[in-house]
Amino acid sequence: MKSLLETGVHFGHQTKRWNPKMKKYIYGAKHGIYIIDLQKTVRLFREAYSFVRDLVASGEKILFVGTKKQASESIVEAATRCGMGYVSERWLGGSLTNFKTISKSIKKLKELEEMKNTGIYQAVSKKEMIELEKERIRLERYFGGLKNMDKHPAAIYVVDPRKERIAVNEAKIMGIPLVGLVDTNCDPDLIDYIIPGNDDAIRAIKLITSKIADAVIEGKQFAIDRESGKTEPIVPMAQDPETDESEEIDIMSDHKDKTKT
């Protein structure tokens, strides 16, 4: 709980900018800002963590999505650390619903990378080499995080479903479960595993996103252990003293990082 407070996860949007469907996740309001009920955040986060961990343990992959400037760095860092795909730039329409076309762009990117790495670039004219490199850079920007995705992800983790509404809509069409960091101005009904929290503060986003990456890593380790003959069942996420739901906290008091930066 302490880390959630310190990173400002409990700060929602201004009271005039909210979605009434988020009412049950709100503790109160202070200085015109909604305060999110962190005890509910902790409980729901545990559910999301377990879902991601178990999914990855079964051999599936998830996709990290966050294209707003406050989220992009954390998305790349977390996804790279746990070996999953990501979208940190603009979500291109059809990334899920028209995956065959997206796959062609990913294939082209891999071909250009191979050409560069094997020295084929040197065998073409300087003008052609410049054009090939421009195309490689363009494709890397939009598809670099998807290079290892050979099929639809089994789930998507998204920061700010309101911002990523195109990705969310495509996931719904394709029947792909969504895990999301959801602020007080979002529609929680769109997300299967909601994590109520500040989706604008960099530190808050980094904390939650990093923990989702931890769930992926734990799931991968379980899969490895199972293959090596260790068959201990997955146990529920351990309760950390910092996240004890019975702990008396004052989330209405002033804390650092209360501005959405």
pLDDT tens digit string along 183-241?
Answer: 999 999 999 999 999 999 999 999 999 999 999 999 999 999 988 877 665 555 555 43
Residue 124: predicted pLDDT: 84
- Cα separation, 180 vs 169, in Å, equals 13
- Domain range 2-96+152-243, CATH class: alpha beta
pLDDT, tens digit, 9 for 90 and up, residues 72-106: 999 999 999 999 999 999 999 999 999 989 999 99
Q: Which part of the chain has CATH 3.40.50.10490?
A: 2-96+152-243
Reported pTM: 0.86
Q: Which part of the chain has CATH 1.10.287?
A: 98-150
Residue 249: predicted pLDDT: 45
CATH number given to 98-150: 1.10.287
Longest dimension (CA), the chain: 69
- Which residue shows structure tokens 């604008």? 200
Q: What is the dihedral of CA 71, 75, 81, 83, to 10 degrees?
A: 180
Helical segments of 144-197, H only: 165-174
**Residue in 166, 159, 168 with CA at minimum distance from that of residue 198:** 159
Residue 248: predicted pLDDT: 41
Question: What's the mean per-residue pLDDT of the chain?
Answer: 89
